[in-house]
Amino acid sequence: MTTPTGHNRLGDEQSPYLRQHADNPVNWQPWDDQALAEAKERDVPIFLSIGYSACHWCHVMADESFEDEAVADVLNDEFVPIKVDREERPDLDRVYQTICQLVSGRGGWPLSVWLTPEGKPFYVGTYFPPQARQGAPGFLDLLRNISNSWDSEEDRAEMENRADQWTTALDDQLADTPDPADETPDVDVLGTAAQAALRGADREHGGFGSGEGPKFPHPGRIDLLLRTYDRSGRGETLNVATETLDAMANGGLYDQVGGGFHRYTVDRSWTVPHFEKMLYDNAELPKSYLAGYQVTGEPRYARIAQETFAFVERELTHPDGGFFSTLDAQSEGFDDESAESADGDDSEGGEAEREEGAFYVWTPEQVHEVLDEEDAELFCDRYGITKRGNFEHGTSVLNISTPVEELAEEYDIDRADVSERLTNARVALFEAREERPRPPRDEKVLAGWNGLMISSFAMGARVLDPALAGAAERALSFVREHLWDDDAKRLSRRFKDQDVKGDGYLEDYAFLARGAFELYQATGDVDHLAFALDLARVIEAEFWDDEKGTLYFTPASGEQLVTRPQELTDSSTPSSLGVATDLLVDLDHFDSDADFGDIAERVLKTHADRIRGSPLEHVSLALAAEKFARGGLELTLAVDELPDDWWEVLAGRYLPGAVVSQRPHSDDELDEWLDVLGLDEVPPIWAGRDGKNGKATVYACESFACSPPQTDIRQALDWATEN
């Protein structure tokens, strides 16, 4: 049968994940009107496969099934096969991932969903092996069974009935909202959430969860615990937070040679990672380490953040400034006779197939090829590199295994010398590793993920070095140039090789607005504040539903799916609803004519019972609720240029959730700022807060009370602490 979509169309797409499947014998279609119309015209189910370019099991299923001609024949003849990059279409992923979790209790990628021609799901799973094993059906058998059932009038009626039931469940889970509570959650929600985090803490290995694995980073929980410690002084919350920071930094989750974090570890002890590196992890985790540094003063936390920033600038940055999305877990093997091949025989050299972790792992022999004898032994002892290895084929993932103090005693050299030699060895191994085949890079520039990274660099500029703001400003400029339509005041989702695709989702607007606002706080540049306000106004116009009292994930003017999702819970990225709510609380100080504060309050009332009932699942919303209830710290800085000693004081103070708002020294200079911001009146956070006696002046406000104007920022912060 010849159809307009009777061939694989993914070669026309820019997504690296979709292009990875462009040569499959499966006639993959992108999710578009043409593919959906064909399913209705042919009256066949849709097979929807969702994944991303760095997904290991996506590669496995592709190799096992999507390259198989027999599988392709069934998919092409009996289904409309559609392939989706979950990073381009998080809305589709959220909808169908939710039904997978509701039905099976688990989710993940690749996500495999069978849909009616109308897009309603009736069968769902993740990875399916080519032949049945461990309770999972073989993929080809499953395809044939579903096709046969679809052709049976009785079976099809049952499948369509199930699809209707599942779609109703999706509406209940994602779209519907409860009756609002009378009050928003109060400040006690912070302690309730922290107590839940403590109950789930792994006090033996650090992190959260006591199962054997996998172990994921949870930066939101670290933030929660550090804030609780700051509010209450409860030592256990600080201990769990620092145990987690130490465990992640010392283990295989962190790239000990090149900096930056892998996605997660497959074991409880943080030893062996799943090797892909995602932009969002390397955006969120440095903020946790910077906060840990401010709270404890431990320089190792600052070093981890700095090295992660260096990794992002080196390996995930577009030449013109935007940030790329991911590095793959796999890369080509390298020529080395000391490592064993996949079948257990000694390698005879030559280029190997792509293997997970090949770029990152080491053997003792490889270390000895780079370093002299004693430094190689020292390095191997430090990082646990052994002949047996802790990973595949006798290789080792680097973990900090032996403290410097023990090495100094064992090798009879002083600690400073040990540290210097290890630093030099890391540099030498980094340079040697640069010669290896590199993991493929997904060079999509996503608006929302760039917002997360911009926020992180902005925080780095406030805590470590003002020069770090440069990377954030270049990225924000890139996104504004390529993804923001200044005339229409709308944001697109993705840029890749001059191609722009997709409406922005709530996470794009909220994360990018938060990034722009953090950058304003770091630099005092009013243009960044103006952009944050522009994005927030679109959040109100496109995502706010006054009747339902919530912010939806998809824009009102966008594509209508089988349900309209919300994103309440934190997952690998923060809840977009939580980030947006927190942002609107902050921006309410700057635009009295907007309804930012009212929207935030109504969202918190709508979801109050969920936040109170399971605050750890809703960390971002819980933190926003606590800030709304408490009032939050505001620092208004009336300065033409931030004094160096003020920067040093602010860099060393942990001020979670604070708004640090710079304004011109005199009111005479405010008119130009108001024009940039599109405001008719001086916003409340600046009104009556000009500089005094020609000196830089600071005003501190918290819990709806304000300090007198101070020319010593330490006195203003002391007032805030006392009050």
Backbone dihedral angles phi then psi of residue 293, each to the nearest 5 degrees: -65, -45
pLDDT band at 3 (very low <50, low <70, confident <90, very high): low
Q: Are 502 and 89 in contact (CB under 8 A)?
A: yes
Dist CA 338 CA 346 (whole Å): 7
User: Of 190, 187, 191, 215, whose CA–CA distance to 201 is shortest?
Assistant: 215
What is the mean predicted confidence (pLDDT) over 394-416?
Answer: 97
Task: Dump pLDDT digits (tens) for 207-264.
Answer: 999 888 899 999 999 999 999 999 999 999 999 999 999 999 999 999 999 999 999 9
Task: Dump pLDDT digits (tens) for 157-174.
Answer: 999 999 999 999 999 999
pLDDT band at 354 (very low <50, low <70, confident <90, very high): confident
Pairing of strands 46-51, 80-85: parallel
pLDDT band at 349 (very low <50, low <70, confident <90, very high): very low
Residue 551 has pLDDT above 80, yes or no: yes
358 Cα distance to chain centroid: 24
Residue 273 has pLDDT above 50, yes or no: yes
> Mean pLDDT lowest for which of 509-513, 657-661, 719-723?
719-723
Task: Dump pLDDT digits (tens) for 191-202.
Answer: 999 999 999 999
User: Of 408, 383, 407, 411, whose CA–CA distance to 397 is shortest?
Assistant: 383
Domain borders along the chain are 10-175, 187-328+443-630, 358-438, 631-722
pLDDT band at 632 (very low <50, low <70, confident <90, very high): confident
- List, in sequence order, every residue forming a beta bridge with 48; answer none if it has no partner: 82, 113
Q: Which pLDDT value is given to residue 142? A: 97
Q: Count CB-CB contacts under 10 A for residue 682.
A: 18
Task: Dump pLDDT digits (tens) for 100-149.
Answer: 999 999 999 999 999 999 999 999 999 999 999 988 899 999 999 999 99
Which CATH superfamily groups domain 10-175? Answer: Glutaredoxin (3.40.30.10)
pLDDT band at 4 (very low <50, low <70, confident <90, very high): low
pLDDT band at 33 (very low <50, low <70, confident <90, very high): very high
CATH 1.50.10.10 at 187-328+443-630, yes or no: yes
Tokens of 614: 């399971």
What is the mean predicted confidence (pLDDT) over 286-299?
Answer: 98
Q: Where are the beta strands (DSSP E) in 45-99?
A: 46-51, 80-85
Residue at token pair 């989710």: 107
pLDDT band at 702 (very low <50, low <70, confident <90, very high): confident
Task: Dump pLDDT digits (tens) for 50-80.
Answer: 999 988 899 999 999 999 999 999 999 999 9
